[in-house]
Every structure is written in C-alpha cells, then in structure tokens.
Amino acid sequence: MANDTNTGDAPFVGSRRDLLRSGAGATTAGLLGLTLGSSTAGATPPGEPDHRLLAWNAWLLEVSILGATVESAPEPDERAFEIGEALAANGYDIAGLCEVFGDGFRNGVRDGLDAGGATHRDRVGPTAEWNDVGPGSGLQTFLTGDRADRLIVSTTEMEFDEKGAEWCDSDYYARKGVLHTEINVGPGNVDLYSTHLFAGGGLPFCDDTPTDRYEARGNQVEELIAFIESTARPENVTMVMGDFNIARERDEYDHLVGLMNELGMYDAWEVHGGDPEPGAAGTNDDAFGEGCLVDPDGDRPYYCNEADSSDAGNRIDYVLVEEPKPDHTFELDVSGMKRASFWREKGDPLEFSDEDGSPNYLSDHMGLELGFDTVARRDTYTLVNAHSGKVLDVDGVSPENGANVQQWDDLGQANQRWRLEEIDDGRYEIVAVHSHKALDVDGASTAVGANVHQWERHGGDNQRWELAEREDGTHTVTNVNSGLVLAVGGTSTENGANVHQSEWTGDDTQRWSIVQA
C-alpha cells in the first residue's frame, strides 16, 4: 500500500517559502455540487516535513580505462558502506547520489543501508554495457521505508551526446547522463531528475580549455532541458538535482538560469538555504573546514553553521524545484534546506584529511538536504465506502495496467487519490493520481461481478462513470458501458476486499462519499 515515511528524529528548521495555492483552477466539486468532507489521514507530526531528500556527490570512484587506473578516491569501499549507514541513520526517504561508479560501490552503499536497518530500493543508470570501457554514469537514486519498492512509479534514463574529448577527458568514458525517477510522494508524484555534468580533464594526453568545458556543460544542459520536456508529466512536480560542476558565482551559472527560465524552476538554496549569497555555501572540497563549521558535539549528519562559516569553496551542487503550476495535482512546500558535512567523527573537522591522507569526511562534497511537505490540491478526491469506511485503493501502489482496485484504510497516499475528469453530460473518468490510469471495468464486461481495475486511458465507455447523489449525501458510481454500479464485494469491512460492478440494490456497499483530499 502506501509509504510509511521515515522522517528522522530531529525537527527540520529552515527558511520557508509560501508555494501554496497559486494558480489553482476551478474545482470539480463545484461542477458536481458535492457535499465534501476533508481528510487528515497520514499526517506527519508537527515540526517534521513529510519528506527528507538528499542530493549528494558520494565520491566513490576508482576508474580504470584499458586496465589503467585513471582516477581513484581514498578508501572508497569503507566509505561506500559508511554512506549507506549514514542514509539509514539520518532518515532520508529519498537520496539522489552521483559519483557512485561501479557495481562494487553501489552494493557497498546497499550493504550499509541493510546494516542500518533500512528497507530500501534504488535505481541506477545510465550504466556501462559489456563492451564499454568506462564505469557508467555513477547515478544511483534510493528510496527508503517499508514500502519503498512500491513508490517508484517509473524510471527512464538518458546518456548525454556531449561527452567531451576522447583523448582529454575521463568523463568521455563515464556515460554521464540523467536518471529520471517518478516517485509517489503521497497526494501525487514527483518527477526527480538526477544528473552529474561534465568536469573535463583527467587524462594525461592533452588539456582542454575552460571555454571547452563551459561549452560542453552548456550543451549538456540543453540536452537535460529537452529530456525533461519530453518525459515530465504536467500533473507532477519536477525536481532536478546533482553535481552540475557550475559555480554559482561565475558567468557559467547562466546555463542554469536558462534551464530554470525554460522549465519554470528555481534554485532551492537561494530561497530556502541558510546563506543565499552567490559566493557562499560552497559544496566542493574547498568548503570543508572554515567554509562549513561543524560542532563535533552536535547531531549527525553535522550540519554547517551557516552564520559563522566562511565563503570558502564553490557551490556547484544544486536542487532545482518547479514553481507551482495549475496542472499540478498537489503543492510541494519546501520547509527548509541545509548543507550536511557528514563528518566521520574522527580527525579534526577543520581539516579535510588527517595526517595519513584518510578523509575526515564521507565525501569531498557536502550533501544538500531538503525537507518538503506535500499538500493535496482541492481537485483530488478519495472515494469512501459507506459500509466499511475504507477508501478506493489501487493495490500495492502499482503503476501497471491491470492493477487491482480494492478498499483499504485511508493512508493519505496517491494510490488512494483520484481526479474526476468530466468528459461530457456529467460523465467522468476517474483517474488514479499515482499512476495516471483510469478506473476501468475489465474487458468492457457488462456482467454482474466483473472486476474493476486500473488501465491506460483510451476513452472507452468502460472507463466512464456517472455520479449520482443520494438523499443521504453519498453517491452511486455507475459505469456507462454496463449500467452497473461500483461496489465492494460481499459485505466485507476488511482491508483488501475486492471492488467490482454489481446491480443496484441500495446497499451501503454500493454507496460512496466523495471527499476532497
């Protein structure tokens, strides 16, 4: 069913921006004349965001090309395991990592999560193929929580055409690109794009110029924009994050300004972070120490003291968030943003490495932690059965055609939220928020007892429903194709009881309250 979100122990404190209720259109309620209730199921304790997201370059690389080690970070195996432990310990339910190069390090992070007791699922890509000499893109996106495997709605990936120069740039062999993960976050989905742009250099045969690198990253940003435009759903909220290798205080930041203007997004740190000045809040290795003062007696993951830290380092890691738009099925309200240093609790936190070269931090990049709440818009609904008090639910949060529809306790998740889209003459398609698929009578059957499931929208009458209000304020939901009504099988009040179509008898199992989510 729905996600049991792990939000960690510490309250999330940060600047807040009111992103709510801008551009919302007329509600379906007005068209239907519904008497509507409200739902508070799945509420998060006060002071905690619904979700905690981490964007982090994990610095797990040991790159060999044609048998020769080109680049290697210190202690990658040990740190991979510790990074997984840190993800589990700090309660991140979404983590987008980059620079996790190779299956060994990916498995190391997974092992650390296991050791930390976290249930988790992840997606990787673009990955190296058997005939590639490189290590893959290094992108790995994790979801944690008891139902993590059911919250990934879909994934796609794209490898950049712009790779740099074959004899100059180690990135040429890395299959750098974009990993897109569509994630169910409750009242709707997020289109999350993780990326790691071109750095340049790294091979001994030649040197490229800063202009070459500037142009390569600009080309990759253009490819990123095109990929997002072709894959993001208008009803979802889009987020883009990763290591862009573009310093905020340099002219090259114009590449990201162009992306944000094109896609209607904003730089989350400048709105919600601790220090929005262009030259402050570095995220690369030069920012550790004076640029991110941490309290050794403080709490993990050892956040930077933004008030007293210097402007050392460059801010090259970003989280970009889409502005609210009328098509969105929910509002994403960012509750704050922090830099997390992930000090390893050894060595002087003012020094990046100890005397023997062992890093005092888990990575040479800060993690960017973002908390956000999700607020359902007024045009999504739950259908509550009058007999059981349970809601219409897509089994297992499945995004697949044919996933069964049943009743379940209201957990506040997107597989229990529905859009009522008027077709004509008071007839509606009832569309699952999490999957964008329609409530559908299997095989367009007209038989009593025919099953109801979700299916790709095709405009058939077996996906069209008439809503009629009864004297008690509940509604019957009648299939246009069969003339039969939506009902819970038998007289069950149990979770998982099946929903089908049946002849109207007036029973409470056939009555539904339509409640604004």
CATH number of the domain where residue 490 is located: 2.80.10.50
Task: Give backbone dihedrals phi and psi of 331, rounded to 5 degrees, phi first.
Answer: -100, 135
Residue 196, domain member (yes or no): yes
Q: Is 462 helix (H, G, I), strand (E, B) or coil?
A: helix
**419 and 335 co-located in one domain:** no
CA distances (Å), origin 120, targets 68, 88, 117, 143, 311? 34, 9, 9, 6, 36
53 touches 92 (CB < 8 A): yes
CA distances (Å), origin 14, targets 192, 309, 380? 22, 17, 29
| Nearest residue to 136 (alpha-carbon basis) of 168, 99, 97 | 99
**54 and 147 co-located in one domain:** yes
Kind and range of the H or E run holding 454: strand 452-455
pLDDT of residue 40: 36
pLDDT of residue 395: 95
Task: Give backbone dihedrals phi and psi of 355, rounded to 5 degrees, phi first.
Answer: -65, -30
Q: Is 272 helix (H, G, I), strand (E, B) or coil?
A: helix
Q: Is the dihedral of CA 393, 397, 399, 403 positive or negative?
A: negative
pLDDT of residue 70: 58
C-alpha 243/C-alpha 190 separation (Å) is 20
The total domain count for the chain is: 2
Question: pLDDT tens digits, residue range 308-359?
Answer: 999 999 999 999 999 999 889 889 999 999 999 999 998 999 999 998 899 9
**356 and 465 co-located in one domain:** no
C-alpha 510/C-alpha 503 separation (Å) is 9
**325 and 421 co-located in one domain:** no
| Nearest residue to 119 (alpha-carbon basis) of 136, 99, 144, 140 | 144
pLDDT of residue 233: 94
Q: Which of 376, 401, 433 is the last residue of a domain?
A: 376
Residue 362, domain member (yes or no): yes
Which residues neighbour 399 within 8 Å (Cβ) at sequence distance 6 or greater? Answer: 153, 154, 434, 435, 437
Q: Is the dihedral of CA 282, 137, 146, 344 positive or negative?
A: negative
C-alpha 304/C-alpha 342 separation (Å) is 10
C-alpha 52/C-alpha 49 separation (Å) is 7
Residue 245, domain member (yes or no): yes
Q: Which residue is listed with tokens 């908390």?
A: 371
Helix residue ranges, H only, 96-168? 103-115
Chain centroid offset of residue 129 CA: 26
Q: Is the dihedral of CA 392, 396, 400, 401 positive or negative?
A: negative
Kind and range of the H or E run holding 151: none
Residue 43, domain member (yes or no): no
Which residues neighbour 483 within 8 Å (Cβ) at sequence distance 6 or greater? Answer: 446
Residue 395, domain member (yes or no): yes
**335 and 200 co-located in one domain:** yes
pTM assigned to the model: 0.80
464 touches 427 (CB < 8 A): yes
**360 and 458 co-located in one domain:** no
C-alpha 283/C-alpha 267 separation (Å) is 14
**323 and 387 co-located in one domain:** no
Q: Which residue is listed with tokens 């203007």?
A: 261
Residue 33, domain member (yes or no): no
**355 and 423 co-located in one domain:** no
What secondary structure letter does DSSP report for 12?
P
CA distances (Å), origin 283, targets 244, 255, 372, 405, 438? 11, 19, 21, 46, 44
CA distances (Å), origin 331, targets 18, 319, 322? 10, 17, 10
**348 and 398 co-located in one domain:** no
Residue 6, domain member (yes or no): no
- What residues make up the domain containing 429? 381-516
CATH code for the domain in which residue 201 is found: 3.60.10.10
**405 and 351 co-located in one domain:** no
pLDDT of residue 413: 86
What secondary structure letter does DSSP report for 229?
H
Question: pLDDT tens digits, residue range 225-249?
Answer: 999 999 999 999 999 999 999 999 8
Give the number of other Cβ atoms within 10 Å of residue 90's Cβ.
22
List the strands of the sheet with 265-267, edge to edge: 152-159, 177-184, 189-196, 237-243, 317-322, 265-267
| Nearest residue to 202 (alpha-carbon basis) of 361, 73, 77 | 73
**209 and 326 co-located in one domain:** yes
Residue 91, domain member (yes or no): yes
Chain centroid offset of residue 409 CA: 24
Kind and range of the H or E run holding 513: strand 512-516
- One digit per residue, pLDDT tens: the chain, 517 residues? 232 222 233 333 332 223 222 233 333 444 444 433 333 334 444 567 889 999 999 999 876 656 666 568 999 999 999 999 999 999 999 999 999 998 999 999 999 999 999 999 999 999 865 444 456 899 999 999 877 877 899 999 999 999 888 878 778 888 899 999 999 998 889 999 999 999 887 777 776 677 788 999 999 999 999 999 999 999 999 999 999 999 998 999 999 999 999 999 999 999 999 766 665 789 999 999 999 999 999 999 999 999 999 999 999 999 999 999 988 988 999 999 999 999 999 899 999 999 889 999 999 999 999 999 998 876 889 999 999 999 999 998 888 999 999 999 998 888 999 999 998 878 999 999 988 899 999 999 999 999 999 999 999 999 999 999 999 999 999 999 999 999 999 999 999 999 999 999 999 999 999 998 7
Question: pLDDT tens digits, residue range 24-42?
Answer: 333 344 444 443 333 333 4
**121 and 263 co-located in one domain:** yes
Q: Token pair for residue 53?
A: 């997201």
Q: Which of 356, 376, 396 is the last residue of a domain?
A: 376
Q: Which of 322, 347, 376 is the last residue of a domain?
A: 376
| Nearest residue to 382 (alpha-carbon basis) of 102, 2, 52, 84 | 2
